[in-house]
Structure 1
Amino acid sequence: MKKNTVLMIILLLVVGVLSACGDKSSEASKLEKKELILGGTIPYSDMLEKGVKPYLEEKGYSVTIKEFNDYVQPNLALKSGSIDANLYQHEVYMKAFAKENNMDLSGVIRVPTAPIGIYSNKYDSLDEIEKGSTVAIANDPTNLARGLTVLRDNGVIEFDDDVDPLKASVKDITKNPKDLDFKPVEAAQLPRTLDSVDVSAVNGNFAIAAGMDLNDAIVKDKLPENIINQVVVNTADKDAQYVKDIEEAVRSDEFRKVIEEEFQGFHQPEWFKQK
């Protein structure tokens, strides 16, 4: 009886040791991940390709950049594990998306961000906009608010003082002297609306993807830090070594050089300005 008890104790100890080793091995494997798939929308996929990928490859990673053309799939891909990090969204959008889709996401580091601009094929200034003109704006809440806020900041419309400019909607407009007619559409489709509406508030990344010049915007928005785009990962992975190396790549002189040469006119996060 005693012999069997001793054998049982030994067996349990062996199983425990193997289990612990397995856990450590799994954790080490996770931290030492060397094949990365990073996702983003244009121009952030290009930013990853030119400013992040070469740096990571110098550190021994194999890196693939996956390009997306909407604001939904990059996060769903992150959730499914088909990509390891993405770059296209700001903190406000990330939190709203995570809550709605039962995800746990974390921002890693902010990057220079393309502004939303007010564009028109018909008008060269906001003063020229005629009464009753049609304005296309994004249909997702955050970018809709950004588009309206650009117009508010430039005196075209007004909100009440207690309205959060990051959550503003058409119903929050208190003064609309030009009697503008707002038409929400999917953000990716905004550049195409310029032939059918009078004015369009276009996200910078989609403007660039459509071959538009950011400098052609009548006016551009001013971004607070929580509306500047960031690298995003699943929160469970935020302490992994590859995530730390992605942040290191973004903070590198090589990344800064790419931004200065190829992404001019982008809003810069505070850390980028201060270096």
Structure 2
Amino acid sequence: MGKKKGLGVIFSVLVAFSMLVAGCGSSGSGSQSSGSGAQAPATNTASTQASGGQAAEPPKEVTLKVGAAPVPHAEILEFIKPKLKEQGVNLEVVVLDDEGQLNPALHDKQIDANFFQHVPYLDSVKTEKGYDFAVTTKVHVEPIGFYSDKLKSKDELKEGDKIGIPNNPSNEYRALILLQEQGLIKLRDGLTTYEATPKDIAENPKKLEFVEAEAATLPRALPDLAGAVINTNVVLEAKIDPNSALFREGANSPYANVITVRKGDENREEIKKLDAALTSPEVKKFIEDKYGVAVVPAF
């Protein structure tokens, strides 16, 4: 009995030892497995952070507010919206009832850029108003033209006829130059700026009378005039056929409409993307297809 009892004790000790060893092995294996599993996410997280995990995310969208005349400027901007959206730029087109407020809005930082004017117009107002602006790109020319409800040809103009012309300095000069090119008047020599008024007319064989008015009102005034020199964007807004002009500027006009920004913003990434989109082959085709002779790409 004593011998059996001793063997039983030894056997019990061996079993306990085996279980202890097995338990340690199992626990170690589990720790390694668990540790491996815990370390993997930590390693991946660190790797993601180190490699700039944020770069894999879509670029942060930037909103760009551009003030514009309704036609064709805002329509062209609407056309490029999807392309800019793909590049992380949310283009917001701001159309004001009074285009004359687009430069003040830019000056006061209500918008980031504007698209409605040509350089001679900007030059005529920036000194007086104290604008510190820069031009980033030329987009299109809207050839100014002579329109009439009554005449079929400039040769039908009679002595003393009334002609409407825009009353802002640069476009008034532009209108008078167009009439001079057609042989209807001659401006005095020595004009050194893009500014002129009927007082600068040296020769007026038909004694034409000039009615100076806001450009936007000229289409409505046509019934009371022999004709008027009207900007193409105004013609389009008034639903007048631009092909009905008796004569117009050529495609080499210096009056290209431009993107204007506050000086110092020329190198903003979103402005560069805007300029690139506006001078793309797609936009050139859009302008030619949609507007024909009324709007001519300047790039």
TM-score tier by shorter-chain length is 0.7 to 0.9
How far apart, CA to CA, are the structure 1 residues paired with 2:253 and 2:152?
Answer: 29
Larger Rg: 2
Identity, % of aligned pairs? 33
Secondary structure of the structure 1 residue equivalent to 2:297: coil
Task: Tell me the matched-pair count.
Answer: 238
| 1:197 has 2:207 as partner | no
Secondary structure, in 3 states, of the residue corresponding to 2:130?
coil
Contact 1:70-1:188 within 8 A present in 2 as well: no
The answer to whether the aligner puts 1:47 opposite 2:76 as a matched pair is yes
Task: Note if contact 1:190-1:200 (Cα within 8 Å) is conserved in structure 2.
Answer: yes
Amino acid in structure 1 at the alignment position of 2:101: Q
The answer for the alignment partner of 1:152 in structure 2 is: 180
Partners of 1:129 and 1:222 lie apart in 2 by 22
- Measure how far apart 1:226 and its partner are: 4.0
Does 2:92 correspond to 1:87? no
**Residues 214-229 of structure 1: matches in 2 within 5 Å?**
214-222=242-250, 226-229=254-257
User: How does the TM-score come out when normalised to structure 1?
Assistant: 0.81
Q: Please tell me whether the aligned partners of residues 124 and 169 of structure 2 are also in contact (alpha carbons under 8 angstroms).
A: no
Closer, same or farther: CA 202–165 of 1 in aligned 2, 3 Å: farther
CA contact (8 A) 1:146 1:221 kept: no
Partner of 1:134: 162
Distance 2:218 2:61 in 1: 38
User: How far does the alpha carbon of each residue in 1:67-92 deviate from its partner, in whole angstroms, 9 at most, with x for none?
Assistant: 23444111111112111111111111
1:169 equivalent to 2:197? Answer yes
Superposed structure 1 runs of 4+ greater than 6 Å apart: none
Q: Do residues 267 (structure 1) and 267 (structure 2) align?
A: no
Alignment of 1:1-275 (within 5 A): 34-41=62-69, 42-50=71-79, 52-164=80-192, 166-222=194-250, 226-265=254-293, 266-269=295-298, 272=299
Match of 1:18 in 2: none
The alpha carbon displacement at 1:97 in A equals 1.8
Residue 224 of structure 1 and its aligned partner are, at CA, apart by 5.2
1:223–1:259: structure 2 CA closer, same or farther, 3 Å change rule? closer
Report the alpha carbon displacement of residue 96 of structure 1 after superposing the two structures with TM.
2.2
Q: CA deviation at 1:114?
A: 1.4
Shift in Å at residue 238 of structure 1?
1.2
More relative contact order, 1 or 2 (CA 8 Å, 6+ apart)? 1
Tell me the amino acid that sits aligned with residue 230 of structure 2.
V
